[in-house]
Structure 1
Amino acid sequence: MAKRPRPEIDTSAPQSARIWDYWLGGRENYPVDREAGDAVLRVLPGIAGSAQQDRAFLGRAVRFLVTAGIRQFLDLGSGLPTVDNTHDVAQRIAPSSRIVYVDNDPLVLDHARALLTSTPQGACDYIEADIRDTEDVLSGAARTLDLDRPVGLMLLGVLNHILDDDEAEQIVARLVRRLAPGSYLVISHTCDATTDELDGAAMRRAVREVMDRGGTPIRARSPEQIEKLFVGARLEEPGVVSCSRWRPDPTRPPGPEVPHYSGVGIVTGDT
């Protein structure tokens, strides 16, 4: 497969990682991203809270994996550095953890140094690649990770940029096929579920707002469609749910349902 050309930083169209950064209160965004972010907020006022809940889910999922014995993480579509990135959470508990980040956004590359501040006992690396180029991703990850041992594969907010369902499932299958049994697959994904607390039509309008402005294409999927992305992995309880409801802190009231669903599955080696 021919290597995809390196994308340039485009400040004329909104970009999902920068919009996400804006909702999280970050500074690595441009006026076009803030305008798109505000347009979405008018349709989905709770989306900034959704971004925060998704970030909190990352922390709980990484802690769950570390407790399960995982010491290696492959984080695809890592986005712009913020607080409590995967390596921050993992190495706080297990300093020897090794993490590889992957993204194709040149702005993320410019900030990759913030993603490489590993503990002396562990390691961090950054690969500039598109997740569809799975061989490039895996060969690059193998410089830092031992793929013959269990890995935590993190796919948070990235598969929703793969618009075709079959292609999204095939990407996951190619990645999981190379992982050792006992690895874990972690996914969070934009969801168009309609519940008492979520308006699926509003999510679809929000997606159109970004795409109509020339932003990164987004595909919201149903909980059932997200569940199908767990190729070769057996879902852990409670399955695919709003990320605020995935094993929330028992000492705090669970947050409201948000239009980002998530799940964690253990790799069975059946792909």
Structure 2
Amino acid sequence: MAHAPLPPLPVLQADCSQCFALCCVALPFAKSNDFAVNKAAGTPCKNLRQDFRCGIHTRLRDEGFQGCTVFDCFGAGQQVSQVTFGGRDWRTGPDTARPMFEVFPVMRQLHELLFYLAEALTLPAAAPVHPDLRRVLATTEEWTRADAAALAALDVSALRQDANTLLLKTSELVRAKVPGRRKNHRGADLMGARLSGADLRGANLRGAYLIAADLSRADLRTADVIGADLRDADLRDADLRGAVFLTQAQLNAARGNAGTRIPATLARPAHWA
């Protein structure tokens, strides 16, 4: 029996040229290793220009704004700007500012879910849950087209819980194909851990804290890394081909080199050696 075609998905990659700099305004950030200053939610970043461009885009890391270089809205910015609000920006239409800033974080969660659900549907091992994945994907996609009021009232946590049950099952099905004992480090504190050359094939690293961990030469093929914090992790010469639910933002936050093997669907970060 043929499946119904998937709904056309919104673009799940950020296109800043079609966004009204929502990540630079709507979201707060605190002075830290990731940001040079404090900024409240709804307040434009001091580096934001009138044309919605970043005034220090090419120098973000040098100026102390590393956090900006690793953030990924999964295309939510242009969806809110061009679809939800029909191209009206918060500068020329101040009445749109508050609802636009409220909706942006919601849309980002929806787009992130679409990213994971779409990936799960490409994995042959997850075929037993593909029908349910398609159902949740269609529901999530429909929400991305809702109006601002409906999006602001959406219980995203309930939608995420439904999706996460399926993503967990997807992970189990994929990793079950890996022979031998598979390591379970779900939610583990592995900050600064020495895992150079470790065999982490099929490992469960969901939500693990791998900040500044040494993963050089590690084998992470088919490891589940959804939600894993890879900030400043050493991925030099590591193998991440087939890593499950790996995102561009995770790669951008880590350190790698020309020998780091990554999925073909992701790009090698410009700051890697």
Tell me the TM-score range normalised by the shorter chain: under 0.3
Task: Report the structure, 1 or 2, having the larger strand content.
Answer: 1
Q: Highest relative contact order (Cα 8 Å, sep 6+), 1 or 2?
A: 1
**TM-score in terms of structure 1 length:** 0.28
Task: Please say which structure displays the higher CA radius of gyration.
Answer: 2
**TM-score in terms of structure 2 length:** 0.28
